[in-house]
Amino acid sequence: MGALADRIIPPDSQTPGGRDAGCVVFIDRQLAGPYGSREGLYVSGPFHPGSKQQGPQSPQTPSELYRTALAALERYCRGENVQGSLGKGFAELTAEHQDAVLSGLESSKVQLEGVDGKAFFEQLLKDVQQGFFADPIYGGNRDMCAWKMIGFPGARYDYTDWVGRHNQPYPYPPVSIAGRSDWNPT
């Protein structure tokens, strides 16, 4: 899962990638909670393929989708499907091969056994992005790295005096719902 997160949000010299930013922790926590079991949503059939605007039309919960898709992705990669990588899992592939697999999932050229690869890719992409930009209290955006990257002030009490100041960097560090790690109230 970490290799997937790092291909979606690759690390660079200034910002950690998806793995080190905590996106995998964020997704694991979400899948273990109400989101992972679609708690509170209507989930009775019939399940017919619908339009994208109709939302997910599957009997699988997000947890089941991830479990099934990750196993199918490993089988796909370890098989003869990825040229020159027989017996290698996704994490062991070169970055070029990993990108080719992800592009194939996105375009539906890569077919996974027992799961809609394109639907999985779209879910994964959304969840990694959410983990990267979420409040760190939820497990992602470690050390508020994404907020620092874009200059987002976070959950500050008030920054209305800065709302109208365009093209000026916000001078204060971001604050999580839980506060700042370097903040000392005494």
Task: Using pLDDT thresholds of 50, 70 and 90, give the confidence band for residue 84.
Answer: low
The pTM assigned to this predicted structure is: 0.87
What would you measure as the largest C-alpha separation in the chain, in angstroms? 61
pLDDT at residue 183 in the model: 56
Task: Based on DSSP, count helices (H) and strands (E) in the chain, helices before strands.
Answer: 6, 0
160 or 130, which is more confident: 130
For residues 46-70, give the mean pLDDT.
Answer: 85
pLDDT at residue 136 in the model: 95
42 or 7, which is more confident: 7
- In the chain, the percentage of residues whose pLDDT exceeds 70 is 96
Is the pLDDT confidence value at 186 over 50?
no
Is the pLDDT confidence value at 77 over 60?
yes
Enumerate the β-bridge partners of residue 175: 154
Q: Where are the domains of the chain?
A: 2-151
DSSP string, 86-148: TT--GGGS-HHHHHHHHHHHHHT-S-BTTB-HHHHHHHHHHHHHHHHHS-GGGS-SGGGHHHH
